[in-house]
Amino acid sequence: MELLDGSLIDLADAVRSGEVSALEVADAALARIAADASGAYLDVDAERTRTQARAVDDKRARGEPLGPLAGVPIGLKDVLCTRDARTTCGSKLLEGYRPPYDATAVGRLRAADAVFTGKLNMDEFAMGSSNENSAYGAVKNPWDPTRVPGGSSGASAVAVASALASATLGTDTGGSIRQPAALTGVVGLKPTYGRVSRYGLVAFASSLDQIGPFAREVRGAARVLEVIAGHDALDATSVDRPIDDYVGACGADPKGLRVGVPDEYLSGEGLERDVRTSMQGALKALEGLGCSLVPLQMPHTRYAVATYYVVATAEASSNLARFDGVRYGVRVDPRKDLEAMYGATRDRGFGPEVKRRILLGTYVLSAGYYDAYYAKALKVRTLIRRDFEAAFAKCDVIAGPTSPQVAWPLGERVDDPLKMYLADVFTLPASLAGLPGISVPAAPSASGLPIGLQLVADAWQESRLLTLAHAFEQVSPARGLVPWGRA
């Protein structure tokens, strides 16, 4: 079992050298998954995983060079298309659906000799902040099973926090990698929009969605990013830029970096006392690393939640129109059985949160309301982006809390969507601006629950982000803390 508790990079090196076999690693992961009660996995095929592992071992036995993720067990959020496993998006509409192809990011992991442990639970169609919106049941936080793990990539975070996989892929539309990483005490990285191909990602909001990694340590996330990043001709939003040495950036000295601290991030309403205290300690630690703190004002942060839920739902109403029971989804004749697609029966149609967002998105795009809501939201999105442009003229990286609260109890916000949406208040601005962000574990709360420090850099500056994140990780009070090690 200890094979999965250490560094992802060290594990790949051990498989590459023959110190341990990929099959041994796969068996260790499968044993943990079988004993897990968090609800993180939706699709596990032990023989499929072992077949992949044997292929890696056979490749090494033939003397062929192994890839940078040799034998590393990786879980995949169930919104990523996989040619040999179901892709349900956490919805009964796609129950049993098997895509005929891999998402580009998935294909690049295969080429790097990663071993897939299975598909991971998620909020239905990636819509949610708690992983309670899945049609297949809520996911539990390993630090306290009565609490949420965050969302929509909550299971991707839980799989890493519980060492069911060495790394996972999630997707981030408004914070769905960074926020669950913070609530479960792992590293979650959202790349710059366009850095990682979206081909094969079932779309929620096309101008916002990004694929990114979860890992136990920053260097592990950097290694996975090196593999999945890069231009893809199959994705019109993919940008052709060189891929940096992200793992090497983790060893660079952050001394001299200017760290911006927005007033709005530390004085906002709803920020819990333990989170504020943890952030104050994190900022002192960054100063101790030789960074200088720069006070900032980002006045349009207060509009980020409203802007996001206009833009994202508008795009969702368009993207989800394809799930009509003809092209995708439950096979029905909508003229005879609209209830099957849009009715209240959860076992056949969309769940409540997805329906809520489709309705809102359709409303803001409708005649007479487009200019009042959607067009105005696009203008505010530009103002938010300009806030970042002004900030990066003064600093190199922006720091603040990832989430205003620690993980809350299961069921507490299910009937209060607005309160649920406010959990993403600090992650939404970077998403609207298309910027890279990372959540790194900081000092936990008084009760021992994880808290995340969010770092945001300018576009294409993932290396700078990883340099600071790795340096902070080395001095963070959360270093080495794991849920199974709690007293």
Catalytically active residues, by annotation: 77, 152, 176
Residue 110 token pair: 């295969």
**Cα gap 176→172, rounded to integer Å:** 4
- CB of 135 within 8 A of CB of 78? no
- CB of 138 within 8 A of CB of 39? yes
Report the candidate in 77, 160, 2, 130 with the shortest Cα–Cα distance to residue 413.
130
∠ CA(79), CA(116), CA(330), 5° rounding?
Answer: 35
**Cα gap 21→44, rounded to integer Å:** 20
Residue 13 token pair: 């090196």
Would you tell me how many other CB atoms lie within 10 Å of the CB of residue 324? Answer: 14
Report the candidate in 68, 70, 66 with the shortest Cα–Cα distance to residue 53.
70
Q: Which one-letter amino acid corresponds to residue 81? A: C
**Cα gap 93→353, rounded to integer Å:** 14
- CA 201, distance to chain mean position in Å, is 13
Give pairs for 286-291: CB < 8 Å, separation 24+.
Answer: 286/254, 286/259, 286/399, 286/468, 286/472, 288/475, 289/254, 289/255, 289/468, 289/471, 289/472, 289/475, 290/253, 290/254, 290/255, 290/256, 290/257, 291/254, 291/255, 291/256, 291/257, 291/258, 291/259, 291/468
Report the candidate in 28, 125, 158 with the shortest Cα–Cα distance to residue 20.
28
- CB of 152 within 8 A of CB of 123? yes
**Cα gap 353→212, rounded to integer Å:** 24
Kindly tell me the sign of the dihedral angle through the C-alpha atoms of 212, 216, 179, 379: negative
- Rounded to 10°, the helix 304-319/376-392 angle is 120
- CB of 120 within 8 A of CB of 137? no
Kindly tell me the sign of the dihedral angle through the C-alpha atoms of 335, 341, 347, 352: negative
The DSSP-derived string for 63-84 is TPPP-TTTT-EEEEETTB--TT
Residue 66 token pair: 């192994």
- CB of 262 within 8 A of CB of 235? no
